[in-house]
Structure 1
């Protein structure tokens, strides 16, 4: 009998998306320096810009789902706005190029070793392990392939939101997954990095979130009484999961 269910987010949970972003800007800078000056941006500032770009991406996600032809426009716009918020102004053509480079870097993904070790241990100990990810089916399936996740998880246990009519943080997406796999809500935990999609989505579905709060986001005061677990980096997560299992 399965003991507990641990469901993982994909982006910036099973791999480090910020490193992809930094590699994108490194390549963009190298290209631009061949013909003109380009701002030198330190690692901490790039991290802050990346976090802001995630904010804009989440804002625009439903707009893109409603009209997929606008995806390239919004993907470029999120970069332009995120850099502008930190005092760096780029043209539409420049952020279009950044977006192309970013998508190229996403074809070279490597999984976070700590997460793969955790998945393998959980399954070896008899727990259910799966994935729920927001995103476009082809793009997310390509990432799953790049990360070799099917070496560790059954494909039918990995759900992409575009394959349904819902998206995180909507309760219905989690309900669909939980019902499809006959899971117990009381013993189901969702592990992810996004406050808005993963933490709130879990609470909407009456399951317990395990929040990987890598970017030091503050919890809204109105949510302080909600049950959750929190890690500030990947390496804290195995101990937290072990505590959950033995509680």
Structure 2
């Protein structure tokens, strides 16, 4: 059997991305206890993707110049749905709080052990994540992923030049790591970015649907998991 390449998304795949969002919204807006944080979180990620797409992606100069406005605007657009109007100052405070909390993160239980197992058994292991290079690498450092994954196997869209779901970022990863699509597995939570993008590149996909959301298109991931324990089980059965 050929050795496999296994790449992971970062945000809400290796750690709980909802936690810093919830805490930042609570700190600045202090909404009603019934506020639907998970629904709002998904909407915030939708606006983040859409605003990034409109700017041409994380690798463009337009994106870099407009990044702070994008980051605050996504909070304003999201909270407007529930009648919470954020001033620019409040949106900036929420973003700053959210940003700081993302550097105080820990991987889901079982993730470090799985990554180490894959590395020790001779598989190519890495990360493919959307976002500005420095910002995403700060998260990688916070989770001590550089101690487990070679730096040349960490691909950030802001450094590469293509954002998921563009299949070119997956093709680039195959080229750089000397791997092939048919022997590559991608694990991610985002339907739009991870499932659609990796399938378009010919990779096998494990959709980490731990938030129980509905598919957004007719694409069919080869595997679906609703816990990291299940992700671990699927990967070990494939490699």
TM-score by length of 1: 0.88
Deviation at 1:208, TM superposition (A): 0.9
Cα distance in 2, alignment partners of residues 227 and 7 from structure 1: 15
**Cα drift, residue 199 of structure 1:** 0.4
Residue aligning to 1:55: 46
Q: Which runs of 5+ in 1 are unaligned?
A: 30-37
Report the Cα offset of residue 46 of structure 1. 1.1
Cα displacement (A) at 1:121: 1.5
1:208 aligns with 2:200: no
User: Could you tell me how far 1:160 is from its partner in structure 2?
Assistant: 1.0
CA distance in 2, matches of 1:165, 1:237: 29
Find the aligned partners of 2:165 and 2:15 in 1 and give their Cα distance. 20
- Residues 163, 232 of structure 1: alpha-carbon distance in 2 compared, 3 angstrom cutoff: same
Which structure 2 residue ranges, 5 or more long, are not aligned?
none
Any runs of at least 4 consecutive aligned residues in structure 1 with deviations exceeding 4 A, and if so which?
Answer: none
The count of residues paired between Structure 1 and Structure 2 equals 234
So what's the TM-score if we normalise by structure 2?
0.90
**Higher relative helix content:** 1
Please identify the structure whose Cα radius of gyration is greater.
1
Q: Which residue of 32, 42, 46 corresponds with 1:40?
A: 32
Partner of 1:217: 213
C-alpha distance in 1, partners of 2:73/2:99?
15
**Structure 1 residues 220 and 135, CA, compared in 2 at 3 Å: closer, same or farther?**
closer
- Looking at structure 1, the residues matched to 207 and 24 of structure 2 have their Cα atoms a distance apart, in angstroms, of 26
1:107 is displaced (CA, Å) by: 2.0
